[in-house]
Chains A and B, each alone.
Chain A
Amino acid sequence: MLDNLSLLWQAPIIGVDLLLQGLFIGAIFALVAYGLALVWGVMNVKNLAQGDMVILGGYIAYQATLWGLHPIVALPAAIVLMFGLGWGIYVLIIRRVVDRDMFTSLLATFGLSLLIQQVLNLIYGPEVKVAESGFGSMEIGSFIIIQNVRLYSLLLAGVLAAAIIVFMKRSRMGQAIRATAQDARAARVLGVNTDHVYAFTYALNASICGAAGVLVAMIWVIQPYYGIVYSIRAFIIVTAAGLGNLPGVIIAGFGLGMWENVSGFVFGAEFAVAAVVLMLVFVLMYRLAQSYRVRQVVR
Chain B
Amino acid sequence: MSARTLDFSVYAVLIAFALAAPFVFPNYTSQVAVMWLMVLMAVTWDMTGGQMGYNSLGNVIFFGLGMYASAVVQIGLVYDVAEYTSAFGAIVVDFNDTQYFTGLVLGIVAGGVVSTIFAIIVGPFMLGLRGPYFAIGTLGLAVAVAELVSGWEYVGGGGGISMPVYPGIAGEGSLVWYILLGLLALSAHLFCRWLYSTQFGLAINAIRDDEDKAEAMGIQTTRYKVVTWVASAFFMGMGGAVFGNMSGFIEPLEVAFPTTTFGIFMVAMALVGGKGTLWGPVLGAILFHVVKEWTWTYLLGWQWVALGAIIIINVVYFQQGILGWAQDKWPRLFGVSVDRGPSETSVEAAE
Interface residues of A (CB under 8 A from B): 46, 48, 93, 96-97, 100-104, 106-108, 110-119, 121-122, 225, 228-229, 232, 235, 239, 268, 270-271, 273-274, 277-278, 280-281, 284-285, 287-288, 292
Contacts and interface: CB of A to CB of B under 8 A. Distances in A.
List the 5 closest pairs (A to B, CB-CB), nearest first.
A115-B308, A111-B311, A114-B308, A274-B147, A277-B144
Interface string B140-152: 1101100110110
A111 B264 CA distance: 9
B317 A96 contact: yes
Contacts of B158: 270
Contact of B125 (A48, A96, A288): A288
A271 to B, nearest CB: 5
Nearest to A272: B147
A102 B309 CA distance: 19
A48 B57 CA distance: 12
Interface stretch (B194-202, B283-291, B299-307, B338-346): B299-307
Contacts of B136: 46, 48, 106, 232, 235, 280, 284
28 contacts: A46-B136, A48-B136, A93-B312, A103-B135, A104-B319, A107-B271, A107-B311, A111-B309, A111-B312, A114-B260, A114-B264, A117-B260, A118-B304, A118-B305, A118-B307, A118-B308, A119-B305, A232-B136, A235-B136, A273-B147, A274-B148, A277-B141, A280-B144, A281-B140, A281-B141, A281-B144, A284-B137, A288-B125
Contacts of A273: 143, 147
B271 to A, nearest CB: 8
B20 interface: no
B167 interface: no
Nearest to B303: A118
Contacts of B264: 110, 114
Nearest to B316: A96
B137 A281 contact: yes
B144 A284 contact: no
B132 A106 contact: yes
User: SS class of chain A's interface: helix, strand, loop or mixed?
Assistant: helix
Interface in B114-170: 125, 128-129, 131-133, 135-137, 139-141, 143-144, 147-148, 150-151, 158
A118 B267 CA distance: 19
Contacts of B259: 228
B57 A110 contact: yes
Given A115-B308, A115-B309, 18 more contacts: A100-B319, A103-B131, A104-B319, A106-B132, A110-B57, A110-B264, A111-B307, A111-B315, A116-B308, A117-B260, A232-B136, A232-B139, A232-B140, A274-B147, A277-B141, A277-B143, A277-B147, A281-B141
Contact of A111 (B125, B148, B151, B308): B308
Given A110-B264, A110-B311, A103 B132 contact: yes
Given A273-B143, A277-B140, A112 B148 contact: no
A48 B140 CA distance: 12
Interface in B304-351: 304-305, 307-312, 315-317, 319
B267 A107 contact: yes
B55 interface: yes
Interface string B160-185: 00000000000000000000000000
Contacts of B317: 96
A112 B301 CA distance: 17
Nearest to B301: A122
B305 A284 contact: no
B292 to A, nearest CB: 14
A297 to B, nearest CB: 16
